[in-house]
């Protein structure tokens, strides 16, 4: 009797032939996610290029402004290659783009890639600094809010974050400038950076823009982190941990944390959107030489090669970051890491 | 009398509720409950949902869920009141002296850790034994509980083992620290009946083997009769009857207990003539998304004015069969013949008249009715839709239908949320009746209800059949219900029909293997049933 | 629900929104000066005559704030209503029909959402002519992708319920199922979402105007006013902060009402509005 009380009357269904998908679901999912991102990037490039083509508005006349004569327009169209079929031009553009050649700017006649090369690094530096500060802070505050759930600290955090998500980026930016740069003279404005700067100087220059970005992203991220942690804390296995007589610390570290990783990564990924958008506005506010400012300037003068290049790069960064977050979340899921 | 291991005296438990639009207030959910449990004995706590049985069980760990607070009485463990223990005192009690087995082991295990780690965690953390000793004990317990490959079972993750195995692993987790008391909270309720018997046997065996005392909480009297020495019947937070298992089962004193004991004794005389079919399923096969085949060549038929019970466990395809009959899932092969005519396979191709003649009742009445519609709207819609009724005529007919389901016109303007579980299911029946159908598909309409309420619904269905010649296809996992209402029976297993015929034939030997197992796995309301079944099984396997 | 159950924060929010709408509707009677009227010198500090001072061209900031409420609210509200109608109709169609329609709509929505909204708007606005209708439509269409995601989630939640299946089995048509069975059960999350989208539209419009791509001068609008006056900041002139604060306060008011609405509905899916 002690060997088995399994009835044994019903043989288990035969194991079906396992495909590679069933045997390595983790790998299969990751590959699937990678392919999806590539497809998405391709589709986005079509959208950005094709959408621009399909919308009304003739670049040539825009390019020439009010003084366009039909002859001049025709010449310009030929000059810019706009007289050739759309599909040809698209593949040419995409082919060049993947080799990081985005053509020449209509406005300045400079190489777009050269400009972007300088500015992309600046923007990424700004976003990276903001992420480094806001992610741990958001997770920490989220945990704090959960710990004091429905008590005073939680309510204060809730009210402040509700206010913070309602503030436009530029408002926060100018507030900080007025107080920290103008009134107290503690920080520099505008946030100019150049190649010969030391790292410390650079950090000092980006202090205010980074602070602005952090404030913008933090509130959103904190609210979602709180919700994610709360749902883990209220799960049945946390009750099991409590009924095992485990201390609060061990229960959180051992039982809550491993399950909270994936949802928190998800929250972070969702909030990358705020970061990408925030960078654009913050760069304009602080006159910071990055991609965002470059793009906004190009949009104002309808410099299409620059707009398309910047749009594609922003979208690509966003898609790649999301992909990375998704893959991390897949890896963090024990069900996928240890298939049946 | 020597001192009891656990003595509960005059327990009073309150909960804070937050009614909408009103100030929060306290309600008493357990009132004046007292009992004693000796070392190595098992006390069964039984009652309907809301009787407070889980709350009483958890009080033995000094624990209250949500806004639940223990406000009065004593819970003495070895003479010490655990309600007076501080936070640390409770911590060293839980998971060491008193352990807990939850209803849903699938949710109670942490998905991120191996089973073995979780099973030994409490023993190691409380310093009861070393990691190695705990591992050894876990392996021993896995063996006692009949888990496959006890040496390596602990290396698996929760999602890698079946529901029945998880429930046994949870029992092992509770037993591992050598506790004095285990609280089992409906440990077999979520399991299929053929799995339930294995888990039940494993738990009983483990209790005997380790000599631990247990509180066994369940809503199923027949189940608790197999494991408990004493039984306490609870209702609305109060004790109804408390005595030995034998006394409760064989000589109940209170009316409520008597009703619980006799609830499975409803019988139905099967119809003699089963030749002229109203509904005929001819060689039906079906698949989800054209890939996963769930039904394999199923044929059965149902005469007018009679009941066909389709029995099976989860995954047997019985609910899928209902979806095929309704047209929600068109069969990949086979025919559905209704009154001699082929019924179009897909819902969209059926005429309104064809739809009217087949109605459906669901397991969960809550989700089967739009919460934003009143009883009048819910029952009235088929009247307008099929018969074009409006205004007073409609209201009169709705009132008539309410009368038929033994509810009064005062319910006309209530919303589903304002009805009890049984009342909701009655309104669902009235909605089906409003269409004046020839056939009602009943998909486990009583399995979410408490036994006495369920019996009321079954009696109502039988009365309606006698009055209106309506036919039922009744899908269930409960053999007792089959006996209570069916004229013919179909037994399904893994998408195949394993047995079909008039009730007296289908439920009489000689049996096929599956029907035999199914029938023998249904707990019977008598002491010693489990031992008998296990004994015959051992004899059979010895004979093989 | 009774009036006294509404928390004080929601009351403040409602009052703030009402005030903004009163300003918008009765602007010509409320504003002490004209929208584009030059009444003083450049960047005059606040005094009894000009409560918030004057702007970069010597116009009264208070008057422009009142007139700006008109443009800002009109455009944001119009964009939200269009985006909401579009998103709800498409998402409910997708959720009730499933199959190919759902697949196509949902995949296209995923594609639209894979580009951050502001970036998408910048690319599109670089091509399109600058006028109010184009601006409203661009905002509405981009925003509707977010409504679609939430609408589909809440509709699916209800569409899988058995009472919807029961309606299908009865033979009810698509419109009955959407309007009588599903919609009444999704009203409160949708209402909360409407508030969220409105708050987001206000912020988004202000951002576009601030970048010079939204409402074109000389018409007053709050984001544009920040842009006009931003150069004063380095001289310690806070004129740009007044319209900025107006945007922030209105958005806070809307969010406070939304917060209360969301607490009343437990089944709300999805996060807050995102970029």
**pLDDT, tens digit, 9 for 90 and up, residues B460-475:** 999 999 999 899 999 9
Q: Are strands B277-288 and B292-303 parallel, antiparallel or unpaired?
A: antiparallel
Order across the sheet with B333-338: list the strands: B292-303, B277-288, B333-338, B341-342
Whether A280 and A292 have beta carbons less than 8 Å apart is answered as: yes
More confident residue, C260 or B114: B114
What CATH number did the domain enclosing A156 receive? 1.10.3720.10
Better-predicted residue by pLDDT, B433 or B64: B433
Q: Do the domains B277-520 and B6-261 match in fold?
A: yes
In angstroms, the separation between the Cα of residue A79 and the nearest Cα of chain B is 55
Which positions ≥6 away from A295 have C-beta within 8 Å? A280, A306, A307, A310, A311, A314, C119, C122
Cα-based distances in Å from B404 to A172, B377, B423: 68, 17, 13
DSSP code of residue A233: H
Task: Spell out a b/e string for B361-378, using b for 16 or more CB atoms within 10 Å of the CB, else e.
Answer: bbbbbbbbbbebbbbbbb
Question: Looking at the 3D structure of chain A, how many domains does it have?
Answer: 1
List the domain boundaries for chain C: 3-264
pLDDT at A15: 42
Would an 8 Å CB–CB cutoff place B99 in contact with chain A?
yes
Please say whether the dihedral angle defined by the alpha carbons of residues A50, A56, A58 and A64, taken in this order, is positive or negative: negative
Interchain CB contacts (distance < 8 Å): A and B: 109
Report yes or no: A14 at the B interface, CB cutoff 8 Å.
no
Residues of C in contact with A315 (CB under 8 A): 114-116, 119
Instruction: State yes or no: pLDDT of C79 exceeds 90.
Output: yes
- State yes or no: pLDDT of B19 exceeds 70: no
The parent domain of residue A329 ranges over 112-337
Q: Are residues A335 and B143, on separate chains, in Cβ contact within 8 Å? A: no
Contact of B81 with B74, CB cutoff 8 Å: yes
pTM: 0.83
Q: Minimal Cα–Cα distance from A269 to chain B, Å?
A: 22
| pLDDT of amino acid B218 | 92
- In chain A, which residue's Cα lies nearest the Cα of C118? A277
Q: Write out pLDDT tens, residues A160-202.
A: 888 888 888 889 988 888 888 877 877 777 777 777 778 888 8
Which chain B positions have a beta carbon within 8 Å of A2's beta carbon?
Answer: 143-144, 146, 205, 209
Angle made by CA atoms B52, B22, C190, in degrees to the nearest 5 = 100
C252–A163 CB contact, under 8 Å: yes
CATH dotted code for B277-520: 3.40.50.300
Q: Are B212 and B40 in contact (CB under 8 A)?
A: yes
**pLDDT tens digits, A273-328:** 778 888 999 999 988 888 999 999 888 888 888 888 899 999 988 888 888 888 88
Are B75 and B183 within 8 A, CB to CB? no
Residue A244, pLDDT above cutoff 50: yes
Handedness of CA B182, B92, B116, A242 (dihedral sign): positive
Distance CA C218, CA B163 (A): 70
How many alpha carbons fall within 13 Å on the CB side of residue A176? Answer: 26
Q: Determine contact: C166 vs chain B, CB below 8 A.
A: yes
Q: Which residue in chain C is spatially nearest to A179 when comparing CA positions?
A: C236
Write out chain A residues lying below 8 Å of B110, CB-based: 237, 240-241, 255, 258-259
pLDDT for the residue numbered A3? 35
Q: How high is the pLDDT of residue B264?
A: 67
In DSSP terms, B14 is beta-bridged to B28, B69
Residue B225's alpha-carbon distances to B42, B78, B146, B455, in angstroms, are 11, 26, 22, 20
Q: Tell me, what's the pLDDT at B244?
A: 93
- CB-based contact C181 B435, cutoff 8 Å: no
- In CATH, which superfamily holds the domain spanning C3-264? MetI-like (1.10.3720.10)
Given this model, what pLDDT does residue B384 score? Answer: 95
Nearest CA in chain C to B435: C170
- Residue C142 above 70 pLDDT? yes
Q: What percent of chain B has pLDDT over 90?
A: 56
A310 vs C contacts (CB less than 8 Å): 119, 122
Asked if C179 reaches chain B (Cβ–Cβ under 8 Å), the answer is: no
Residues of A in contact with C213 (CB under 8 A): 296, 299-300
Question: Which residue in this structure is represented by tokens 């209105």?
Answer: C250
On whether residue A128 sits in a domain, the answer given is: yes
How far, in Å, CA of A320 to CA of B393, rounded? Answer: 64
Q: Chain-wide mean pLDDT for chain B?
A: 89
- The model's pLDDT over B390-445, given as tens digits with 9 standing for 90+, comes to 989 999 999 999 999 989 889 999 999 888 888 999 999 999 999 999 999 999 99
pLDDT at A21: 62
Query: Nearest CB to A168: which of C126, C206, C271?
Result: C206
**C7 interface with A at CB cutoff 8 Å:** no
The ipTM assigned to this model is 0.85
Is residue C172 within 8 angstroms of chain B, CB to CB?
Answer: yes
- How close is the nearest chain A Cα to the Cα of C49, in Å? 25
- CATH code, residues B6-261: 3.40.50.300
Residue of B nearest to A255 (CA): B110
Q: What residue spans define the domains of chain B?
A: 6-261, 277-520
At residue A61, φ and ψ (nearest 5 deg) are: -70, -35
- Picking from B61, B107, B198, the nearest residue to A236 by CB comes out as B107
Give Cα B538 distance to the centre of its chain.
28
Predicted confidence band at A205 (pLDDT cuts at 50, 70, 90)? confident
Confidence of residue B544 (pLDDT cuts 50, 70, 90): low
> Nearest-5° angle of CA C184, CA C190, CA C193?
170
- DSSP class per residue in C171-207: T--HHHIIIIIIGGGTHHHHHHHHHHHHHHHHHHHHH
DSSP state, residue B435 = T
Contact B359 C184 (CB under 8 A): no
Q: Is C173 on the interface with B (CB under 8 A)?
A: no
Q: Is C7 or C92 the better-scoring residue by pLDDT?
A: C92
3-class DSSP assignment, residue A35:
helix
Residue B368 Cα to chain centre, angstroms: 19
For residue A84, give every residue at least 6 positions away whose Cβ sits within 8 Å of its Cβ, in sequence order, or none.
none
CB contact under 8 A, B367 and C163: yes
pLDDT attached to residue C81 = 96
Query: Does residue B303 contact residue B280 with C-beta atoms inside 8 Å?
Result: no
The closest CB to that of C184, out of B362, B372, B381, belongs to B372
**Considering only CB atoms, which chain C residues are within 8 Å of B431?**
166
B504 falls in which pLDDT band (50, 70, 90)?
confident
> Are A281 and C210 within 8 A, CB to CB?
yes
């Amino acid at each position: 009797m002690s060997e088995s009380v399994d009835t044994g009357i019903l043989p288990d269904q035969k194991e079906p032939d396992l495909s590679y998908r069933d045997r390595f679901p983790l790998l299969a999912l990751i590959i699937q996610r990678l392919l999806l991102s590539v497809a998405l990037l391709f589709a986005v490039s079509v959208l950005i290029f094709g959408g621009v083509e399909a919308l009304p508005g003739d670049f040539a006349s825009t390019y020439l402004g009010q003084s366009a004569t039909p002859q001049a327009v025709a010449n310009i169209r030929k000059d810019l290659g706009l007289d050739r079929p759309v599909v040809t031009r698209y593949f040419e553009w995409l082919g060049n783009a993947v080799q990081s050649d985005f053509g020449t700017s209509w406005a300045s006649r400079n190489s777009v890639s050269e400009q972007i090369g300088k500015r992309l690094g600046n923007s990424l530096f700004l976003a990276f600094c903001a992420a480094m500060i806001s992610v741990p802070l958001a997770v920490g505050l989220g945990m704090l809010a959960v710990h004091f759930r429905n008590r005073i600290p939680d309510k204060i955090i809730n009210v402040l974050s509700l206010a913070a998500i309602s503030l436009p980026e530029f408002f926060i930016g100018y507030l900080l400038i007025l107080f920290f740069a103008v009134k107290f003279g503690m920080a520099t404005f505008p946030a100019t950076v150049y190649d010969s700067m030391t790292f410390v100087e650079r950090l000092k220059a980006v202090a205010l823009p980074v602070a602005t970005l952090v404030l913008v992203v933090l509130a959103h991220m904190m609210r979602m982190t709180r919700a994610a942690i709360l749902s883990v804390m209220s799960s049945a296995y946390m009750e099991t941990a409590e009924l095992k007589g485990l201390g609060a610390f061990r229960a959180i570290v051992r039982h809550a944390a491993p399950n909270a990783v994936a949802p928190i990564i998800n929250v972070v990924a969702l909030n990358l959107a705020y970061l990408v958008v925030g960078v654009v506005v913050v760069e304009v506010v602080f006159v910071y030489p990055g991609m965002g400012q470059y793009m906004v300037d190009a949009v104002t003068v309808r410099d299409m090669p620059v707009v398309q290049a910047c749009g594609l790069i922003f979208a690509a960064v966003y898609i790649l970051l999301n992909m990375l977050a998704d893959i991390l979340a897949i890896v963090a899921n024990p069900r996928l890491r240890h298939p049946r | 009398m020597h001192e009891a291991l656990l003595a509960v005296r005059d327990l009073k438990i309150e909960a804070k509720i937050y009614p909408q639009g009103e100030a929060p207030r306290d309600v008493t959910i357990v009132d004046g409950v007292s009992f004693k449990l000796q070392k190595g004995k098992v006390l069964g706590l039984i009652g309907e949902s809301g009787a407070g049985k889980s709350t009483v069980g958890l009080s033995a760990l000094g624990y209250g869920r949500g806004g639940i607070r223990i406000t009065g009485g004593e819970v003495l463990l070895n003479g010490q009141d655990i309600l007076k223990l501080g936070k640390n005192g409770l911590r060293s009690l839980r998971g060491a002296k008193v352990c807990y087995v939850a209803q849903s082991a699938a949710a109670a295990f942490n998905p991120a850790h191996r089973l073995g780690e979780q099973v030994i965690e409490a023993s190691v953390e409380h310093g009861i034994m070393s990691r190695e000793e705990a591992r050894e004990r876990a392996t021993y317990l896995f063996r006692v509980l009949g888990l496959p490959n006890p040496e390596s079972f602990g290396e698996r993750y929760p999602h890698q083992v079946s529901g029945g195995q998880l429930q046994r692993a949870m029992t092992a987790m509770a037993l591992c620290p050598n506790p004095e008391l285990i609280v089992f909270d409906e440990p077999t309720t979520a399991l299929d009946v053929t799995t339930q018997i294995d888990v039940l046997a494993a738990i009983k065996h483990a209790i005997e083997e380790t000599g631990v005392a247990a509180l066994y909480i369940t809503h199923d009297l027949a189940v608790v009769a197999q494991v408990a020495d004493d039984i306490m019947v609870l209702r609305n937070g109060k004790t109804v009857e408390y005595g030995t298992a034998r006394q409760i089962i064989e000589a109940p004193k209170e009316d409520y207990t008597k009703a619980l004991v006799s609830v499975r004794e409803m019988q139905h005389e099967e119809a003699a003539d089963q030749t002229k079919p109203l509904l005929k399923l001819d060689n039906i096969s079906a698949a989800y998304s054209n890939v996963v085949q769930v039904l394999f060549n199923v044929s059965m038929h149902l005469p007018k004015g009679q009941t066909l019970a389709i029995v099976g466990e989860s995954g047997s395809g019985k609910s899928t069969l209902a979806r095929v009959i309704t047209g929600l899932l068109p069969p990949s092969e086979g025919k559905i013949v209704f009154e001699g005519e082929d019924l179009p396979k897909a819902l969209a191709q059926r005429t309104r008249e064809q739809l009217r003649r087949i109605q459906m009742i669901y397991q969960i009445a809550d989700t089967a009715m739009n919460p934003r519609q009143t009883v009048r709207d819910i029952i009235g819609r088929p009247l307008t839709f099929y018969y074009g009724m409006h205004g007073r005529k409609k209201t009169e007919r709705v009132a008539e239908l309410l009368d038929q389901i033994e509810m009064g016109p005062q319910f006309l303007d209530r919303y589903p949320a304002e009805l009890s579980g049984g009342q909701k299911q009655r309104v669902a029946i009235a909605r089906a009746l409003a269409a004046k159908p020839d056939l009602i598909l009943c998909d486990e309409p009583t399995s979410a209800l408490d036994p006495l309420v369920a019996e009321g619904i079954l009696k109502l269905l039988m009365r309606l059949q006698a009055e209106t010649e309506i036919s039922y296809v009744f899908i269930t996992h409960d053999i007792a219900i089959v006996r209570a209402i069916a004229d013919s029976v179909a037994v399904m297993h893994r998408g195949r029909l394993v047995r079909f015929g008039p009730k007296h034939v289908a439920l009489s030997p000689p049996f096929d293997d599956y029907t035999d197992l199914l029938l023998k796995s249904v707990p019977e309301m008598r002491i010693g049933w489990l031992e008998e079944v296990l004994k015959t099984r051992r004899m059979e396997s010895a004979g093989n | 629900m009774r009036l006294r159950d509404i928390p004080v924060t929601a009351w403040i929010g409602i009052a703030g929104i009402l005030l903004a709408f009163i300003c918008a509707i009765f602007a010509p009677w409320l504003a002490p000066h004209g929208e584009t009227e030059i009444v003083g010198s450049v960047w005059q500090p606040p005094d009894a005559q000009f409560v918030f001072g004057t702007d970069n061209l010597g116009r009264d900031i208070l008057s422009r704030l009142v007139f700006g409420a008109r443009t800002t609210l009109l455009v944001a509200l119009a964009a939200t209503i269009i985006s909401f109608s579009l998103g709800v109709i498409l998402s409910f169609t997708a959720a009730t029909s499933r199959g190919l329609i759902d697949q196509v709509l949902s995949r296209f929505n995923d594609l639209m959402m894979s580009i951050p909204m502001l970036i998408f708007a910048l690319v599109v606005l670089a091509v399109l002519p600058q006028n109010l209708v184009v601006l409203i439509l661009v905002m509405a269409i981009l925003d509707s992708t977010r409504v679609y995601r939430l609408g589909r989630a809440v509709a699916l939640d209800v569409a899988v319920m058995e009472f919807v299946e029961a309606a299908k089995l009865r033979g009810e048509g698509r419109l009955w199922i959407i309007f009588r069975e599903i919609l009444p059960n999704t009203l409160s999350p949708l209402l909360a979402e409407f508030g969220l989208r409105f708050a987001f539209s206000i912020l988004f419009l202000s951002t576009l105007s601030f970048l010079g791509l939204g409402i074109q001068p000389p018409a007053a609008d709050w984001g544009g006013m920040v842009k006009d006056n931003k150069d004063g900041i380095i001289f310690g002139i806070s004129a740009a902060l007044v319209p900025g604060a107006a945007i922030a306060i209105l958005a806070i008011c809307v969010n406070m009402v939304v917060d209360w609405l969301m607490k009343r509905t437990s089944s709300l899916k999805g996060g807050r509005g995102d970029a």
